[in-house]
Amino acid sequence: MRAALLLVAAALAGAGAALANDSVAESAAGGLVLGQSRDIDMVSEDLYVSRLEVRVRYVFRNRSRRPVTTIVAFPMPDRDLATEEGEIAWPSNFRTRVAGRAVAMRVERRAMLAGADRTQLLTGLGVPIGGRDSDPAMYAALDALPPAAQDRLAALGLAEFSGEPGTARRGGRPLWTVRETWYWNQTFPAGRDLAVEHRYRPGLGGTVATALGGRGFRDSEHGRAMIARYCIDAGLLATVDRIARRNDGGWVPLAEHWLSYVLVTGANWRSPIGDFRLVVDKGDPRSLVSFCGEGVRRIGPTRFEVRRRNWRPTRDLHVLILHPQGG
């Protein structure tokens, strides 16, 4: 089971990089991944994305003549402890229901470095792998290791310490990547549909004020990349300019919120997603929203819809919401 779970966990990776001191980087999570999907189709996926919640309802169909039991996993974004700086928002508050009944998910954390699994070595030394709830214990455990163990971890590139080799050192810094996966075992009945609902609070990133009001920023490499990432059009930029003019051309009182969702794993199914629906909710009618999508249709004061039939996604979803400050 562990090998299968690691295979599933490797399907999703990548957290947003930290930015300026007044920013929080987002972390891109996605949907559920099956350890074995040879006999299972995704009949439909109904995805709702907002600043406060991501929720998705799948209908899976086992097309074989026998029940199929497999791991269903929700891989978290990989967390590279060697490069992590500043504050990063992580998905939380996971809830899952199958056929209307709540499912208890388990969690596995692995320590990866250069493609090698170093979990057993670290846990054998009493060092926690890392998690938002165990970080203080992880750092304390590194500092408490005997000199020989500290030297071994340093030689392997798993940690770095202040002080001379061969002596008890402090300031231990982990250099591995935490691969965290939430999962459960699920049986899919033969020849039948099964509804799975999953929801969580997204790893929402952002900054206190948008930089889009500055012409210099728009023409910069980072500005052009941001405009492309969120498919920001001329209409949104014109609205930002109008707001800037009301403030004498100064700062724009709009906070940026960034939300990413991994869609490309949906291209790995035996067949395309039969019926896909996406709803992006900007939350406040005064907010501005931008994301890449074809056939986007407004369905309410704050909601926008995209529909696809027999679809294989080729890019992930990145949503920018410009929210009034203090609102």
The two three-digit tokens of residue 183, written as one number: 């999962």
The two three-digit tokens of residue 89, written as one number: 């928002």
- Phi, psi angles (nearest 5°) of residue 105: -90, 145
Name residue 308's beta-bridge partners: 276
| End-to-end Cα spacing for the chain | 47
Point out the least confidently predicted range of 6-10, 42-46, 107-111, 224-228: 6-10
The per-residue pLDDT for range 69-92, each reduced to its tens digit, is 999 988 888 889 998 876 777 888
Burial of 226 (0-12, 13-18, 19+ CB in 10 A): buried
Name all domains of the chain by residue range, CATH numbers in brackets.
Answer: 2-118+176-209+253-324 (2.60.40.3680), 119-175 (no CATH), 215-246 (no CATH)
46 near 56, Cβ under 8 Å?
A: yes
Name residue 178's beta-bridge partners: 79, 111
pLDDT at 18 over 50: no
Which residue type sits at 138? M
15 near 27, Cβ under 8 Å?
A: yes
Name residue 44's beta-bridge partners: 59, 275
Q: Mean pLDDT, to the nearest integer, of 279-294?
A: 96
How much is the CA Rg of the chain, to the nearest whole Å? 22
The per-residue pLDDT for range 160-201, each reduced to its tens digit, is 999 888 888 889 999 999 998 999 999 999 999 999 999 999
Q: Using CA atoms in the order 187, 267, 84, 124, what is the torsion angle rounded to 10 degrees?
A: 40
Q: Model-level pTM? A: 0.84
Point out the least confidently predicted range of 30-44, 199-213, 307-321: 30-44
The per-residue pLDDT for range 115-161, each reduced to its tens digit, is 999 999 999 999 999 876 668 899 999 999 999 999 999 999 999 99
Q: Mean pLDDT, to the nearest integer, of 303-310?
A: 97
Dist. CA 94–CA 54, nearest whole Å: 10
pLDDT band at 20 (very low <50, low <70, confident <90, very high): very low
Residue 52: its pLDDT value, please? 94
